[in-house]
Every structure is written in C-alpha cells, then in structure tokens.
Amino acid sequence: MKLKKILPQFLTLLFIVLIFGFFTMNAQENMDTRGIEFGFGFLKQEASFDIQFSLIDYDGSKSYARAYLVGLLNTLLVSAIGIVLCTILGVVIGVARLSPNYLINRTASFYIEFFRNIPLLLQIFFWYFAALRALPMPEDASLLLGTSYMTIKGLYTPAPIWNNFDVFLISLILSLIIIFFFNRYAKRKQEEAGIQYPKFLISLGIFIIIPALTFIFGGVDLSWSFPELKQLAKTSFTYEGGVGIPPELIALTLALTLYTATFIAENVRAGIQGIGKGQKEAAASIGLTPGQVLKLVIMPQALRIIIPPTTNQYLNLTKNSSLAAAIAYPDLVLVFAGTAMMQTGRAIEIVAITMATYLTISLSISVFMNWYNKSIAIKEK
Amino acid sequence: MFKYLKQLTSLVAMVAVLFTFTTETMAAKKSKTLKNTQKKGFVRCGVSQGLPGFSNADAAGNWTGVDVDVCRAVAAAVLGDASKVKYTPLSAKERFTALTSGEIDILSRNTTWTLSRDADIGLTFVGVNFYDGQGFMVRKSSGITSTSQFKNGISACTNIGTTTELNMRDFFNSKGISYTPVAFEKADEVVAAYDAGRCDTYTTDKSGLAAQRTKMSNPDEHIVLPETISKEPLGPVVRQGDSVWEDIVRWSLNTMIEAEEYGITSGNADMMKTSDNPAIKRLVGAEGEMGAAFGLDNDWNYRIITQVGNYGESYKRNIADTGILPDRGPNELWTKGGILYVPPSR
C-alpha cells in the first residue's frame, strides 16, 4: 500500500528530471553542432556601444557587465518612480470613486474604465509619439517654473552641484535614526502614561533641522547649474548644463503610472468597501472625528485587503517596464537582452541572466510586501 | 482509477521522450536542411520587417526586394518554383537567434558580414549581395552638408543590435564629439522619432537611409550626407554546420551575378542554351553536371535565371526603378567599374 502512495510521486519526479535533462542535452547537442559555446566570460569584454541614459558612469569602453548594471538601474529607476506615483494616484482615485459627489465619482470611474481597458503597449506608444509631436523644439521651449525647459529632446532641469555631499548624506541618515528612536519613545510614553506627542511635526522638524545645520557648520554647499540653449546647426538646438531627463523615461513613467493606478484604485475601493458599515458607526459613536475614523479604524483594516492584490500590481508594473524597449528607453531588456545579446550572440546566457534578474526583483518586492502585510495584520490575542 | 491513468500517461510520455532521443541521434547525414526543405516543400527565409528595395511586403503580402530574390533563387534551384518561400519578418535583435535555433534556414536581411558574427555565433556568411556603408541623414533646413559640421551634444537615432551602434561610437569618438544615442528596437519607430524631431541625425546603412527616406512625412526635407563611415557588406547567412546547404545558397547568389556578367537574362535564357560559349551553357544547365555536387538536377541555375532573373534585373526591379538608389555605385559588375566579382561556375 505504501508503494501505491510513493510510486506516482516518484514517477512524477522522474518525469520532471527526464524532461529537464532532455532539454538541457538537446540544447547542448544543438549548440555543439552549431559551434556555439556556453560561458559567461563575455561579461568582461568591452561593450563598445554607448547608452543614451545612465545613472552610473558608463561609456562603450566599459564591460558588458557594466552595461548590464546600467540597464538594471534604469529598470529599477522607472519601476521605483512608477510604484510611488501609481500608489499616490491609485489611492486618490480609489477614494474619489467612493465620493458622494456625483461628478468626482463618475470622473474617477471613467478614468479607471478608460485606462485599464487599453493595452499598455499602445498607451506607451501614444504617450511617447503624441508627446513627441506636441512638445516644442528646444529653441521654442518656454521657461518652466523659472528654471526648466520641456522640449522634444527631453526635460532639462537645473543640476545640483554639491560640496561635501557625504556630510549631508550622513546627516540625513542620522536624522532618520533619531526619528526612529523618538517614535519608539513616544509610543512607549503613550502606552505607559497616556502622554501624546505631536509625533509627525517633531519628526518633520528633526528631518529638516539636522540636515539644514550641516549647511552652516558642516561645510555643505549647494549650487545649481542651469540648462542653457546651444546651437548645433542652423535649425538644430539642444541644452547644455543641467540634467536632461529623456522623453522616453517620461513617457514610460506616465504610461505605467496611469495604467497601474487604475488597478490600485480598484483595490483601494474594494478595501474600504470591505469594512463593515458598523465599524464606522461604532467609531463615530465613541466620538472619533471622521479623520480619526479613517486613520485609526478603517485604514488599518482596509490595508489588509488592499495590500496583497497591490503587491501583484507592483510586480506587474516592474515586469511591464520591459516594454521600454519599444520606445528606446535603455532598460535591462533593451540594453542587455537587446544590444548586448546581439553583439555577443550569447542568447542563452543573456536570457538566463535577464530572467534571473527579473525574478530576483519580483521576489524582493514580494518579500518586502509580505513582511509589511504581516506587520500590519491584526494580531490575534 | 484516475491515479493509474496519471501513471500511465507519464510512462507514455517518458517512452516518447526516450524515443525522440534515439531518432535524433540516428539523424541523416548529408544536408539535413536540404532534405527538410524538400520534404516541407518551401524554403524558410528570414527577412526584414519592411525595408523597401531589400525585403518589403505589399498590401497583399507579396514580398519583393533584392534580399527576397536570394531566397526565391534558392527556392527555384531546390524546389523548382521561386514562389515556394515562407517569409519570416525579423527584427535586428531576433534575426540570429531565429537562424541558429532552426526557425529559418536562410537569413537574407541586409545583414553585415563581420568577423565576430561569422566566427563566433554559429553562423556562416555565404556572400555579398549588396555593398553598403553607414551614413547619416539630417534635415535640409539644418544647413548641415557634411559630418564635419557635427557639434558636441548632437543626438542620433538608430536601431539596436546592429553594427550601426558600434560604428557610430567609433565615428563620434574618433572625432571627439559627445553625442546622445537614441536606439530603438524597430526601424519604424526610429523613423517616426527622427521625423518628429527627437534626433538631429538618423544613422544606418546608406541603402537603409535612402529606403526609409521614402517613408518620411516629407522626404524632400531630408538629405543623406556624402560621408560613408564604415564598410557594410550585406549578404545572406546560413547556420554553421551544413556545408551543402551553405554551398547551394552561395552558388544561387553567384549564379545571379555571373548571369548578368554573361548577359543572360530571364528573357533570353532559353536562347542561351544553344550558345557557343561553354561558360554560358554551364550557367543555363546545358553543359556539365553543375548541380550534381549539391544533390540537385542540372537545370537548377537555369530555373534561377528564368524565374528570378540575373542580379542586374533584380537590382533594377527593386532598387533602381523604385527610386531608392538609381545609381548602382559599387554594386556594379567588376567589368563595369563596380566591385561585384564572383568565382566562376565551372
């Protein structure tokens, strides 16, 4: 009888191993007959192609490994900005969807139905090419906020030039540590003695004052380099100095944010609606203000419903950022699984690395969100 | 009951897996690709996603171009019918993987022959069907007439995964000019972005520039600068490891070029069968056993010439008459001042 239990499992395992072995051997054999070798040595070779936009020092004389890092950081950049923005927008739209005001409520539903039902790639193309056509050439651009220019070649903003930036950074970290301990102290005081501090204001004060002091005593100094118009040819201009943010990044962020925010808005709405009406009424009856009801009663419970599906949306946003390749934003797929793969011909190695990278990013997000979800879960006593 | 069914299916699957192993290792010698092609009844050919003059599909899905004609020539030689080709449009990024993985058997997609591609990644280049070089396109209104007028800060649109990206870097570095590369995956997006004004210049092979210019909203507003910054010999590619198939593709192309040299056209090939010149007779299958070495019949080259035409006819039909590059430049026969020179068919 025991055999009857084990045999199917054993056969399944054997089957999986055989399938895997078959694919590996098949690939090996085909690569042999076609004279392709497997190996990661190419990562050290000179990449010899340039990349439009990079967060770290890079040019074509650097290695493929460095190009990989450039692509990875660009992917992380667009994902991080997208996640922050779509969360803010999603919460706003989600709450607006529940507004008793007919106009606000209808506008929010229209927004959600419109943006989530159009394929993302189409939206990316739309924002990119529509924006390209609509934006002015550099020489016609008007000043934005007194310092920046929005042009077809990108957004040019002033660049900060720091003196003793490391001192400033250390002070920032220091202030965060102080805030952490202050909050722990305030919580204990409230639990033990019922004393309430204005926690938010004091934290904000610490966060501003300590870094500000470094400007006076730490020798920290900040100046700005402003973008200036430069003529390249008779009708061809660009900006020099300052930071140039490529239109590809702007279009991609915009499309990813607008698209993903629709799903998050629905999660938020579901979360809030999932809390029984009685909760709200009970909270109000003990004299809590509407703000306190939302902050202390509704949200802590709603978050438990909102977070798991929102984690999925964060993962989707990160994976969808690979559509960047279509509009020349140099993300991991375009730089590494695109140009680098073509120049080296190492399809199997590069696809494997790229897959492993996305898997790692996704799992990290997932692990963090699960931890957060656990930390806010109601602790059953 | 279901449990046993499950066991049974996994057992069957296992046996199937083992069986494929054994048949795989007993695979036929000689040219697997030729055998497969004749069995399927069509040639699997990888082409571009639409480059006028080289490989471009019309509204009805009919492919034309000089790159397409190489595949048609092979189909005429191997299958007896130039129309028996299955085209797979590929991006620059996909093309080599499609070939090495066996999805296609010929890659005829304006692909530059370089050492690393030939030696490193399991490919074999069989010849050159177009001598090209990388150039730059700019807007006429910019007043730029030469690359020497390029200045620091210029932005250049191009395709990823091509030699273009590498040449561009070499060129700007040697001139000491800082530039912004804007690299897209597909040519259509490159054209659209450049056309909208995202970049100051658009760089790719000059033939490509000439062809893409016809797609712009107003072609007359753009000019191709005279400088050529690289050598780009474009030609068909096959997988490494099937030398018979490699020879068939190489000599199909050579036949087209040599036919032009001897003045054999699709129109007069029949008459040429009775020519006094043995070199001509060999090219139309009237003398020698020119097909036997490939495992083909003796009329293989005659079919190429009658069904596809010689190289000059193909060039005229696809590139000159369409206004892309009326002047043949280096792609003229060696006897007429160009550099087209192929080994003799004998």
Where in chain B are the domains?
32-131+234-334, 134-230
CA distance B271 to chain A (A): 43
CA distance B325 to chain A (A): 27
Kindly determine whether residue B93 and residue A342, on different chains, have CB atoms separated by under 8 Å: yes
| Eight-state DSSP code of residue B329 | G
Kindly determine whether residue A35 and residue B100, on different chains, have CB atoms separated by under 8 Å: no
- Which residues have C-beta within 8 Å of that of residue B102, sequence separation ≥ 6? A30, B239
CATH architecture of B134-230: 3-Layer(aba) Sandwich (3.40)
Residue B134: predicted pLDDT: 93
Residues 281-300 in B contacting A (C-alpha not used; CB under 8 Å): none
Kindly determine whether residue B3 and residue A334, on different chains, have CB atoms separated by under 8 Å: no
Residue A188: predicted pLDDT: 87
Residue A1: predicted pLDDT: 65
Tokens representing A251 are: 């279009």
Nearest-Cα residue of chain B relative to residue A340? B161
In a 3-state reduction of DSSP, which class is residue B238? strand
Tell me the chain A residues in contact with residue B143 when contact means C-beta distances shorter than 8 Å.
233-235
Q: What average pLDDT is seen over chain A? A: 87
Nearest-Cα residue of chain A relative to residue B168? A49
Residue B28: predicted pLDDT: 36
Residue B195: CB atoms within 10 Å: 21
Backbone φ, ψ for residue A240 (5° rounding): -120, 155
Does residue A341 contact residue A139 with C-beta atoms inside 8 Å?
A: no
Q: Does A35 touch chain B (CB under 8 A)?
A: yes
Does residue A218 contact residue A123 with C-beta atoms inside 8 Å?
A: no
In a 3-state reduction of DSSP, which class is residue A52? coil
Residue B20: CB atoms within 10 Å: 12
Residues 290-319 in A contacting B (C-alpha not used; CB under 8 Å): none
Residue B1: predicted pLDDT: 47
A57-61's contacts with Cβ under 8 Å and 24+ in sequence apart are A60/B166, A60/B169, A60/B173
Strand-strand pairing, B237-239 and B222-224: unpaired
Query: SS3 helix, strand, coil % of chain A, rounded to 5?
Result: 70, 10, 20
Residue B26: predicted pLDDT: 32
Does residue A60 contact residue A49 with C-beta atoms inside 8 Å?
A: yes
Residues 147-176 in B contacting A (C-alpha not used; CB under 8 Å): 149-151, 153-155, 157, 160-162, 165-166, 168-169, 173
Kindly determine whether residue A29 and residue B24, on different chains, have CB atoms separated by under 8 Å: yes
Distances (CA, A) of A269 to A100, A118, A316, B3: 13, 21, 19, 44
Q: Which of B116, B161, B189 has its CB closest to that of A338?
A: B161
pLDDT tens string for chain B (346 positions)?
Answer: 455 555 655 555 555 544 444 443 333 347 889 999 999 999 999 999 888 899 999 989 899 999 999 999 999 999 999 999 999 999 887 888 899 888 999 999 989 998 888 887 789 999 999 999 999 999 999 889 999 999 888 999 998 877 888 999 999 999 999 999 999 988 888 999 999 889 999 999 898 898 888 888 888 999 999 899 998 999 999 998 888 999 999 999 999 999 999 999 999 999 999 999 999 999 998 888 888 888 899 999 999 999 999 999 999 999 999 888 888 889 999 999 999 999 998 8
Query: How many contacts, defined by CB atoms under 8 Å, are there between A and B?
Result: 158
Residue A212: predicted pLDDT: 82
Residues 300-329 in B contacting A (C-alpha not used; CB under 8 Å): none
pLDDT < 70: residue spans in chain A:
1, 34-35, 380-381
| Eight-state DSSP code of residue A81 | H
| Measured distance CA(B155)–CA(A153) in Å, rounded | 9
Residue B271: CB atoms within 10 Å: 10
Largest CA distance in chain B: 82
Tell me the chain B residues in contact with residue A4 when contact means C-beta distances shorter than 8 Å.
3
Does residue A51 contact residue A330 with C-beta atoms inside 8 Å?
A: yes
Residue B287: predicted pLDDT: 86
Q: What is the pLDDT of residues A268-280, one digit of tens each?
A: 999 988 888 888 8
Query: Which domains, from first to last, does chain A contain?
Result: 44-117+246-376 (1.10.3720.10)
- Which residues have C-beta within 8 Å of that of residue A336, sequence separation ≥ 6? A64, A67, A68, A71, A72, A350, A353, A354
Nearest-Cα residue of chain B relative to residue A330? B183
Residue A35: predicted pLDDT: 66
In a 3-state reduction of DSSP, which class is residue B11? helix
Tell me the chain B residues in contact with residue A49 when contact means C-beta distances shorter than 8 Å.
165-166, 169, 181
Strand-strand pairing, B237-239 and A228-233: unpaired
Q: What is the pLDDT of residues A325-354, one digit of tens each?
A: 889 999 999 999 988 988 887 888 899 999
**Fold: same for B32-131+234-334 and B134-230:** yes
B32-131+234-334 maps to which CATH number?
A: 3.40.190.10
- Which residues have C-beta within 8 Å of that of residue B344, sequence separation ≥ 6? B258, B279
Q: Does B92 touch chain A (CB under 8 A)?
A: yes
Residue in the structure block whose two tokens are 């008793």: A100
CA distance A315 to chain B (A): 24
Kindly determine whether residue A238 and residue B166, on different chains, have CB atoms separated by under 8 Å: no
User: What residues form DSSP beta bridges with B46?
Assistant: B88, B107
A71-74's contacts with Cβ under 8 Å and 24+ in sequence apart are A71/A330, A71/A331, A71/A332, A71/A333, A71/A334, A71/A335, A71/A336, A72/A332, A72/A336, A72/A357, A74/A324, A74/A329, A74/A330, A74/A331, A74/A332, A74/A335
A64-67's contacts with Cβ under 8 Å and 24+ in sequence apart are A64/A336, A64/A340, A64/A344, A67/A335, A67/A336, A67/A339, A67/A340
User: CA A162, A167, A168: angle at the middle one, nearest 5?
Assistant: 60
Tokens representing A302 are: 């709603």
Q: Which of B14, B100, B153 has its CB closest to that of A15?
A: B14
| Measured distance CA(A10)–CA(A2) in Å, rounded | 12
